[in-house]
Amino acid sequence: MNISITRRFAVPALLALGLAACGSDTDSSSTAAEPVTTDMGDMNMDDMNMDDMNMDDMNMGDADATPADEVVGASLARGEFVLMDTRPAGYDDVAGTAVIARHTAGTTVTTELTGLEPNVKYISHVHAQACTDENAGNHYQFEIGGDTTPPNEIHLAFTSDNDGNGFMTAENAQIAGVDAVAFVVHPAEFMDNKIACVDFIEDEAGMRGHTADG
Ligand SMILES: [Cu+2]
């Protein structure tokens, strides 16, 4: 849990640093200002690809990744959000979908929500029990009992827009097993307050746990 929290807050911190550095360096050749120095060791801010960092190291989502329902040759399962009794006040109008794609390159999960609070951080996970079974139970893990962070779990972190809409896609290099049955969204600051849950229903019955090729 501690690792999870640390990582969750490390991402925005790094992104903020990166954006600050990029913003102050739009035309470094002609500016007379002192160069901005950051104590980031060997990290070269100019060469850093924040999308790659997000996907490869943090693996908490990339809004520009191919959405799950557009992955070619994937086995798809999806569903609509149902409100959970544990939701905080103010979340009675949350709605949306989550889609999980199992394919030869692994797993892709995309979620799309409306009715969230504007400009709030959320965290969502693939869960291992159905929505009505102990509120979806624990997070789905590729290696049960292993790390509680990606890539051993599938997490999607996102911030809602000005209108309370959320959208995110996360990719994982492993193919999710049959226990990856549900998807839950939480406020990032109140993990216990599960807001809403999707039970994944397969587009083609019996394809769960199989790729299109086998
Ligand atoms: Cu969760």
Quickly state the pLDDT bin for 205 (edges 50, 70, 90): confident
In this prediction, residues 179-184 reach a mean pLDDT of: 98
**For all residues of the chain together, what is the average pLDDT?**
79
pLDDT tens digits, one per residue of 16-40: 333 333 333 333 344 344 444 444 4
Instruction: Answer yes or no: is pLDDT of 111 > 90.
Output: yes
CA distance 165 to 112: 7
CA 118 to ligand 1 centroid distance, Å: 20
CA 137 to ligand 1 centroid distance, Å: 8
pLDDT tens digits, one per residue of 45-100: 444 444 444 444 457 999 999 999 999 999 999 999 999 999 999 999 999 999 99
Contact in structure between 100 and 77 (CB atoms under 8 Å): yes
CA 105 to ligand 1 centroid distance, Å: 24
**So what's the pLDDT on residue 62?**
95
**So what's the pLDDT on residue 55?**
41
CA 20 to ligand 1 centroid distance, Å: 31
CA 130 to ligand 1 centroid distance, Å: 12
Contact in structure between 116 and 193 (CB atoms under 8 Å): no
Quickly state the pLDDT bin for 204 (edges 50, 70, 90): confident
Quickly state the pLDDT bin for 191 (edges 50, 70, 90): confident
In this prediction, residues 142-164 reach a mean pLDDT of: 97
CA 156 to ligand 1 centroid distance, Å: 10
Taken in order 85, 88, 90, 95, the sign of the CA dihedral is negative
CA 45 to ligand 1 centroid distance, Å: 32
CA 187 to ligand 1 centroid distance, Å: 10
CA 79 to ligand 1 centroid distance, Å: 16
**So what's the pLDDT on residue 206?**
67
Q: What is the pTM of this model?
A: 0.72
DSSP state letter for 56:
I
**So what's the pLDDT on residue 59?**
79
Pick the residue with more confidence: 127 or 53? 127
CA 186 to ligand 1 centroid distance, Å: 6
Pick the residue with more confidence: 5 or 161? 161
In this prediction, residues 168-179 reach a mean pLDDT of: 97
CA 62 to ligand 1 centroid distance, Å: 18
CA distance 201 to 71: 17
- Judged by average pLDDT, the poorest of 36-40, 120-124, 137-141, 185-189 is 36-40
Contact in structure between 176 and 207 (CB atoms under 8 Å): no
